[in-house]
Structure 1
């Protein structure tokens, strides 16, 4: 192999990629695992690891087998994916028109399983004795016998169309195109058990181990089903969309954290941490994949392969870093990439013959360096390949060291810049320099001694420094807003007592208070002390909400009364909503039957939905510029004395782009169960993100279920979207409606038509892609029709009883 030095041009390119990595988010590739298509694969039995090598015009496959590296035949073929099984691995040639397999016990001789000039394959998967793939256009799953002498593997029922496949021992499972449910088939009954346990869950991804399967639901929840004899189903606590990649073996499961690429494993012979070795502690991966008793990862930064686990060490001792070349992180394509764009430096990784498109699922923290110029692949005929392997390792090591040095300089410079800007920004927002350097550990202790200056210079400066406020209008609005002394608000809330606490907002705790003039108000106090370590976060949320609410006035938005800014205290004073949050009425423990709550009628629920939608419509269509709330949920929909619903809590809101345009956010924020999946995984924000949250609220109103809930103790959590939508699409609407509201009248009645309208618009609101969701104006129109149908059933303009009254609009 020709030795490669670190030339200045390569250093410059590497530095450029460090800058790209620090300033623009990339996206990690989709789920890989045992038996599923990826660009690297593990083969059980022989402990072989194979991958598609980067830096060549022909994307050939290189394997590490019996302590040496070798290229597999044919040497002039390009491959887009590989998958491994029991002593067998297969590769799908670029374009998907040809499928080859190699037996690792029989000299790696290629065997062609499939060839077509017209029908392409995708979603390649290999089990212990079966090879399956999906026809691209038809969605049909096709299966072949993995090894000669084995019996034929059964095919799934005709008519099923699959989005992806994965295989275990004696079974294959797939995610259906029509409803995202799991369907399994094969000779081993464990497949049927896995299918029944997943039930109606709508899945985004699915990965099989030997006798279990894990996947990420459309709500972002990691779910595992099947055999649990070694704790392989005992998923550690995780939030929605915390994990991206999965890798499963015989008795263990591993997942990769979405944000930093770190691997976490559970199960195994001796317990959860059997596969959490020190060699991978703090190591970030592009992808992870597994054999039956070991797991490997494609390392971020240099795209080399590292393996660990008891099965690996039993065969190869302490060798972790495999002497393979750089492995491409995705297939090299000649078609243009989608809006998620190409992988950094992908043209070089593909040897100038294509680009690697980034997946829109998940996030990548760092870019990769330029690959070395690998030699043309040759079939090993003598032990001379071992010396080439050593040379390859030295070359890779030099390039990696150079990249690490240059990258470290870039990271250090970037970090210093960020720290300096953060320091200047924070101190610029403080009234005094001492405010930035001295934190009061107990603000409660000297409330009495604080002197209210009566000045609003600090908050005016805060608002004026926000470039997205339009002109000086925000300053005028703030100047007209009542500025309260801290002492007055402390007295109003009984010194912010626990008894006065009524909720929690985006940046603080909300208290009920009574002002000296008798007005009842809600006072949100920015968190202090250990719970709010970053003053900048509180300042940002406070300034955002103040600047927005001073210019927003609508009957379906909670109104701002005033504010307080003294030292490090930030408080906002709102109109008091006497009847609390919609969430508490729907999910309160005392709401057990129809008579338990005023909310237990379709008339009330549709009206509340319409009120909330009108508030959001005002933000999107009538505020200038439009405003995106970013945290629409049932606990942010409050009910006033007349039971009119109002949208509250604008601490996360942004002044967004014009309708139909996108806003690139630095990071996604929101609440699990309500956050738009498209926004969460792509950081692209539009008004349709609020529509998704509203759709979840509509499903809460229809089903009475929380946004994320457990049907039974011990069951995996499920989102109301994946609980309700499949049932609706299957024509089983009545099975998921909230029984506390009473039986839905027969089809054709006005009330039934109204509920069906709400259901239809709710399902459209929670479509995975924003382009498929309605605008909030369209939602309002549908809800107005639904409410009109209900009023036709009951022409009275008001409802009343001893505790409440509701006037018709």
Structure 2
């Protein structure tokens, strides 16, 4: 199996190697967004692939990091925003220059490459299905175009790429005109500017078309392949002279005259945006920038670390067409290599025909060679088809096992309603009072995603490892007899009771094989008017947990259905619920959660990763609907896990989609938009998690009596949000925790500002859970950096305005 996976991994890498080695395109490791006065690059060395940006409008520009714990492989920028493709190639983020709207635009199982940004549109190659896709296209571009293309590039209202025969195809409002201007040329590379485009034809000569108001589309005469690695701005064009690696520019204020703004300095590549051009120096990978006012060229070195001279590919260099870049393994910090460029080959002169026809012996040799080639090719093709067939068989078989673990339990009558459960280890103080129970018309134990989407997700899981820990196919849940569970709990002795809630009572149990478990026993009387609700909650949680497996979700061990008895058996969470550590009944209760900001943020990060799995990786996606501190449990190693799926629904595919159902959840944590409209989305879980974050920061319950008020109950949202918005975060922090040091205080503030975005009244204004995960990773990294170095680090507080 490992051989098959390596085979497919190699296939997925080949297109990336082609583009990074044979064409510059409009994606790379350095980008300019002049509309936001931002220049960003990917760091080289340790760590590699981290985004550093600087605002060039500042009097003393200093660099800052964007998501420092996430690795990226390429950048691209338009006038108003920048985008970056994650190293795993299955997601990309976009933001404006001041990070006020950091947003993950895409996340999926497809392998993307050549991410490019135009004036407003974003495009990329989807290698999983061999097509070009667009995002943020405002209906001006097709959703996707199938075919084999290279050198993808985007400008103002157009996106272009080269077909396998060298023809330029373009899309968008200006695409037809741009495509027509290149109809007479066979191109090998193209790079777009604002309203013009340049590249090399098959003979190695410069071809520029489009706007030429300032001479930007002037094609300088010269030898084949004399000018390569183009960078196009608003009204100027720059390139690198291959004979010496220096920059040459034309257009702008200088018209068609050639200018060498940095004569004597060699560059790896150039990028442009507006009237600005920046180059990565070959000597030390620093960034130098200048404007296209050739009468007064002013060069500035940016405050950025060493930038990668090319895209790192995780192949070891075996597929690099022209070999690996020198020292690229160290530049990529061991995560791959950079392919040497192949965009300046010597022009090929056709050989004259032979003076005499080949002898019979020579013809025979040629014939034998072709036969050997055909045989080897046929064998290779056959082996490849066998590998594909085997891989698909394994995936389909695993999918079948994955779905087969959902037990089929005949309903006891009535409609499928989403009842409520209490998480293992919950106490009655866990905020269960006020919990609402709606009918659940969307729950179906037999529901499944389309086969194509299931296969694509399984493919993604087979080829890569999730950031937050592996998800895997869960073993079949055990079915216990009631007598076995009676014995495990000493006949449900009060001494074994560890919690109680609306669904029933939770007991600690010891199985015959020595496993310690938590056993939730539901209401046993069918005469109880809420029995049907609890029956449906039992079936809901059993169905969901039977097919979910993640390190930050409570695992189901088994179940019991006998007569009127309904029991669920979970792994035992030794340290109970987060709620009980934040709000202990005993004032002398000691817990590391009470005294440590780092511990609290780590628990939030763990829980957010569990929710992210539900929203983005579970098939189908799942909306939990009851995120609260009493449903976040802690194991023996203080790893947090999300529990209680009694209210969960199979959710819609996107953040913007919703389900119509009567509001359900716990008072204080329930999304007010959901409560008012009966429309639930994944953002409803984000709201509940935002309340948990405020609970962790303040040490206050979701609903509490504020001693400074008139004695009326107040929500932690109403209590904390005004102070955080006023910049007075310290005034609402839990006084049981010692004040944080400078860099650690930044981490706490980051969590606070993120929390108030999570509890925005409208779901569209809230971040996605993936954004929450990324920022909690940043906050935890600030603590760890502070503890390692003992000094302050330059970190950006990312405020989240989760608008696409």
TM-score by length of 2: 0.40
TM-score by length of 1: 0.39
